Amino acid sequence: MTAPDEVVFRLDAVVRRYPARHYVLVDDKLRMLAAMRKVWGDRLTTVWPRQGHAVLDPKNVTADLPADITVQRIGELVTGDLPVVPGLVEVGPAE
C-alpha cells in the first residue's frame, strides 16, 4: 500500500502550518502507519491504538511495519505514560 496522495498532501499542509523536526501520527490502521513511515522515515513516530473495528481486520494486524508505540486504548495518550521510542529525543520547534 502506498500513501494516498490526498493524505500526503494534507501532511504537507501540516508541515507548512506546524513546522517541526519530528511528528507523531496516531491511527488505528497499521497499513496507513506503515505507508506514512515509508514517506516520512525517521521523522515520524507511529502510534497504534488497539481499539476500534480496524483491530479486528486481519489485513490490518499483519501490516509489514509495526507501529513504534502500541497502546490498548487511545485514552492512554492523555495520561502521557507512554513507552519511550529508542533514539527519539525531545526537541523544540524547528527553527
Distance CA 14, CA 17 (A): 5
pLDDT band, residue 85 (cuts 50/70/90): low
pTM value > 0.85:
no
Cβ–Cβ < 8 Å for 84, 11? no
pLDDT for res 8? 65
Distance CA 18, CA 13 (A): 8
pLDDT band, residue 11 (cuts 50/70/90): confident
Q: Is the pLDDT of residue 52 over 70?
A: yes
pLDDT for res 6? 62
5-79 folds as: Rossmann fold (3.40.50)
> Whole-number mean pLDDT of the chain?
75
pLDDT for res 90? 55
Task: List pLDDT tens digits, range 53-83.
Answer: 767 777 666 656 788 888 888 888 787 666 6
Cβ–Cβ < 8 Å for 39, 18? no
The backbone torsions φ and ψ at residue 47, rounded to the nearest 5 degrees and listed phi first, read -125, 130
